[in-house]
Amino acid sequence: MTDKNRIIIFDTTMRDGEQSPGASMSLEEKLQISRVFDELGVDVIEAGFPIASPGDFEAVTEISKTLKRSIPAGLARATKKDIDACHESLKHAKNFRIHTFISTSPLHMKHKLNKSPEEVLGAIKESVTYARKFTDNVEWSCEDGTRTDMDYMCKTVELAIECGAKTINIPDTVGYTVPSEFKKIIETLINKVPNIDKAILSTHCHNDLGLAVANSLAGVMAGARQIECTVNGIGERAGNAALEEVVMAMRTRHDLMPYTTNINTKLLSKASKVVSNATGFPVQFNKAVVGKNAFAHESGIHQDGMLKNRNTYEIMTPESVGVKKTSLVMGKHSGRHAFRDKLSDMGYVDVTDDIINTAFGKFKILADKKKHIYDEDIAALVDDSLVTEDNVIKLKSLKVYAGTGEPQKAEMTLEVFGEVKSASDTGDGPVDAIFKCIKKLYAHDVKLLLYN
C-alpha cells in the first residue's frame, strides 16, 4: 500500500458476522457472498475459522479458490493446530493471510486463558513465528485490547512485529471503549512501539454501546490504516462496525477524513441484500446507508425541501450506494406539494386543482387510518374524485368463520352495478375464503400472492 491515506477494508462478515446467533450460512451462500465482496472491492475477506468445524474449513478452502481480487484470510488461535488448519484451507490462493490472536487483558489472561503475562508473551512469539513460515502476510490481534494495560500492550505489539506480523489489530472485543479513548490507544502505540513503522495498525470494534463505527473512524484518524468490519454490522452480540457506514462516512466527510478505500460504493445496497438473504437477518428500516428508509422522506417539510433541492435533506445520493432513487413516502405527514408531485409521477398530469384538493383531503383521512399508503390507494382516491357516480361495487355484509375442526368459511354480500348478490365459500384460511367469495360474485383473474 503506497498511498498513506488508503484504508484497507477487512471484512469479517463470514467469520465474526456468522457468530451472530442464528446467522449461520451454507457453503453456497458463503460462496455467493464472497463473489459479491470480491466485486465490491473488499481488500481482505476473513472467510472463516477453519479449525472451528469441517464446514468452516470447507468454506475457507472453496472461497480461497474462487477469489480474483480480494485476499482470503482465516482466523487461528495461538496454537500450531489452528495455524496448520488455516494454512491447509488457504493454500490454494496465490496470496492469503493468517490471522492469529490471543487475549491480553488481565481479566482474560486470568479467567479465560489461566496464563501469566509472561506466558502470553511466549505464546505470541511461538504462534506468530510459526504462522510466518507459511506466509509473509500475518496479522496478529490482542483480544480484549481496549481493556489491556497500555504498557503491556506496547510490549505485545512490539514482539508480534519482531516475529513477523505485518498487521497489528486492536480489537474492542466487548464494545467497551469510546472514540477519544480508542484514538489515544492508537496514538500511544504509534509513539511508543519502536518498530511500529513495520506494520499496519488495524481496528476491530464491536457495537455494544453503539460506538463501533465512531471508534473505528477515531482509530483511522489516529493513524490506523485498516478497518475490520461486516456488512449490515452483523456480528457477536450487538454486532461489529458496519462496512457500509465506515466507507460512506469517509467518502461523505472527506473534508475531515481525507481517506480512500477500494470499495465500489454503488454495490453496497446489493451486498447488504445478499447478506440479509443469506443470514435471514432483516435490515432494520432506519439502518444507515442501506436501510429501507435511509433515502425515504415522509415529513411534508422535508419533502418540500427535497423537491426544491436534494441537498436540503440528503448528505449523499441514493445512487452512490446503489439505490435507484430517493423515495418520497406518502403518509400523514406528507404535504400538498409532495402529493401533487406524486400524482405527476403516476401519470396524472392534467388533473385540475379541485380534483387534487378533493383527493388530498381524502388522502389525509386515509393516512390517519393506514400505516402504509400505496400508489394504488392514491390512484383509487383520485379516480373516485374524477367520477361522479357511486362505486360500482359496494360491500354490504361480511361474516367469517374460523376455528379448529371445521373448514374456514366466509359469507359475503356485494352490490355489483346495483344488483345485490350473496355467496359463501370455504378456503385454506378466512382470507382465502373471502377471495373465493369475491371471485364468485365478480369474476376476475386476480390472484393473492402474499398475505403478511
Q: Give the three cell numbers for residue 191.
A: 509513539
CA distances from 443 to 385, 396, 438, 446 (A): 26, 18, 8, 9
Please check whether the two domains, 8-279 and 393-441, share a CATH topology.
Answer: no
User: Would you state the pLDDT for residue 391?
Assistant: 64
- Please, what is the Cα angle at 129 between 127 and 130, to 5 degrees? 65
Each residue's pLDDT tens digit, 158-203: 999 999 999 999 999 999 999 999 999 999 999 999 999 999 999 9
Pick the closest to residue 73 from 178, 202, 210, 239 (CA basis).
202
Say which residue the cell 388530498 belongs to: 360
Per DSSP, the residues of 391-421 read: PSEEEEEEEEE--SSS-EEEEEEEEETTEEE
**What residue ranges do the domains of the chain occupy?**
8-279, 296-386, 393-441
Kindly report the CA angle at 327 between 265 and 248, in degrees rounded to 5?
A: 25
Work out the mean pLDDT of the chain and round it to a whole number.
90
> Whole-angstrom Cα distance, residue 340 to residue 342?
5
Q: Which of 66-80, 105-119, 340-354, 358-372 has the lowest mean pLDDT?
A: 340-354
pLDDT at 308: 78
Q: pLDDT tens digit string along 275-306?
A: 998 898 988 888 999 887 777 665 666 766 76
Mean of the pLDDT values across residues 18-24? 82
Name the E strands within 71-182.
Answer: 71-77, 97-103, 138-143, 167-172
* Pair 163, 124: CB distance under 8 Å: yes
Distance of CA 347 to the CA centre of its chain: 35
Range with the poorest average pLDDT among 322-331, 372-381, 420-429: 322-331
Quickly state the pLDDT bin for 397 (edges 50, 70, 90). Answer: very high
Determine the longest span between alpha carbons in the chain, in angstroms.
91
Round to whole Å and give the CA distance between 304 and 340. Answer: 11
* Adjacent-strand bridge partners of 46: 73
The amino acid sitting at 298 is: E
Q: 408 by DSSP, 3-state: which?
A: strand
Banded pLDDT at 80 (limits 50, 70, 90): very high
The answer for 164, left when phi > 0, alpha when psi is -120 to 50, beta otherwise, is left
List Cα–Cα distances, 76 to 100, 108, 128, 139, 178, in angstroms. Answer: 5, 17, 10, 10, 28
In this structure, are residues 238 and 210 in contact, taking their beta carbons and an 8 Å threshold? yes
Q: How many residues does the chain have?
A: 452
Q: b/e map of 82-110 (b: 16 or more CB within 10 Å)?
A: bbbbbbbbbebbeebbbbbbbbbbeebbe
Q: Write out pLDDT tens, residues 334-365.
A: 788 878 877 877 777 777 888 888 888 888 88
Domain 393-441 fold is Double Stranded RNA Binding Domain (3.30.160)
**Helices 54-66 and 80-90, interaxial angle, to 10°?**
40
Backbone angles phi, psi at 395, to 5 degrees: -80, 120
pLDDT, tens only, 55-70: 999 999 999 999 999 9
Query: Which 3 state secondary structure label does DSSP give 67?
Result: coil
Residue 59 grid coordinates? 468454506
User: 405527514: which residue's cell?
Assistant: 333
| C-alpha 117 chain-centroid distance | 38
CB atoms within 10 A of CB 358: 16
Q: How is domain 8-279 classified at the CATH fold level?
A: TIM Barrel (3.20.20)
